[in-house]
Amino acid sequence: MNILITGNEGYIGPVLAEMLMAKGHTIVGYDTEYFNGCELLPYPTISRQIRKDIRDVNEDDLQGIDVVMHLAGLSNDPLGELNPTLTEQINYRGTMLLAEAAKKAGVKRFIYSSSQSMYGISDVGEELDEDDSEKNPITDYAKTKWRAECELKDMSSDDFSVTCLRPSTVFGAAPNLRCDIVYNNLVACAYTTGKIEIKSDGTPWRPVIHVQDTASSFIACIEAPLELVKGESFNLGIENGNYTVRDLAEAAQRAVPGCDLVFTGEHGNDARTYQVSFKKILSQLKDYYKPQWNLDKGGVELVEFFKKIDLKEEDFRGARCIRLMQINHLLEENTLDSNLRWS
């Protein structure tokens, strides 16, 4: 199939592209390239690259495409808070513009990278499910993801099947690594400094998922029969995939033996704590989605990756691996204007 991946030069995109090409698919990339030059390893060579802002997408960009996998957007709450108006324009309006163009162009399946942030602050004693749990999006980022997901699903039909995936916090090695996400940050800190400092008491819960398992879920959504994925939302994770911050820190310590682990507790009991249910994807797509990664396997992989690229502290704490820092760097240089468009 001809598959267009938006945000193909981000964190997940290169891993997804490589896995899809290994299955014989043809990949077209669509990326505005905010993070060009941040990659730690070369991107996979794809069929065609479109360098374009998602706010400017049109039907011509989608001609001949069978499937759209939509990853592009301002990628987390800090970036989303940079400018709420831009978050609305890029994450919501850009998404709907893309979907409308894709539907007109005859695209058959549209896989949307949504977010678990739409659940907001929740009762930690309850695992949140896709369909019945209350949605309480608090940040602008979360609100745009939830709004887009609702309207995309209204567009879904047999001719234009929409599936929405809500990933846990992703970890694992990738060409365009992110260290502004929890487990990658912990392992990178341990590897480059020999120390992990946890500013909470370690009790908050975080669901996490490996980047390759995340990519495999997108692939499952094009390999599964239409009746299993059309108009559906899925939390992305693994069995028993909810961990406390202490669990994550101790796994990072196992990955980097000899590093110190200190709980300062200065932030007390962090309110951002939630557990998510993965029963739906693990049952409904059990023949297609088969996650392979856990924390320890991913920790070993990260350390080997850091050795290979000779990761330094300034890399993991700097603009190459922190999305907001890179955007601010481009703004300060006037490479991007205030609307996050290339000057």
In sequence order, what are the residues at sequence separation of 6 or more whose Cβ sits closer than 8 angstroms to the Cβ of residue 39? Answer: 9, 14, 175, 176
Verdict on whether the full-model pTM lies above 0.75:
yes
**8 Å CB contact between 160 and 108:** yes
**8 Å CB contact between 208 and 182:** yes
Beta strands in the chain (DSSP E): 2-6, 26-31, 48-51, 67-70, 109-113, 127-128, 161-167, 169-171, 195-198, 205-210, 232-236, 242-244, 260-263, 275-276
Q: Could you say which residues of the chain have pLDDT below 70? A: 76-81, 121-125, 266-272
**8 Å CB contact between 114 and 166:** yes
C-alpha 134 chain-centroid distance = 22
Give the tens place of pLDDT for each residue, 99-137: 999 999 999 999 999 999 888 866 656 789 999 888 888
Q: Give the dihedral of Cα atoms 238, 239, 240, 243; nearest 10 deg.
A: 0
The domain defined by 2-174+208-240+274-293+326-332 folds into Rossmann fold (3.40.50)
Task: Please give the pLDDT value at position 88.
Answer: 93
Give the tens place of pLDDT for each residue, 34-60: 999 999 999 999 999 999 999 999 999
Task: Please give the pLDDT value at position 188.
Answer: 97
Alpha-carbon distance 149 to 151, whole Å? 6
Task: Please give the pLDDT value at position 45.
Answer: 97
What ranges do the domains of the chain cover?
A: 2-174+208-240+274-293+326-332
Task: Please give the pLDDT value at position 6.
Answer: 98
Task: Please give the pLDDT value at position 77.
Answer: 60
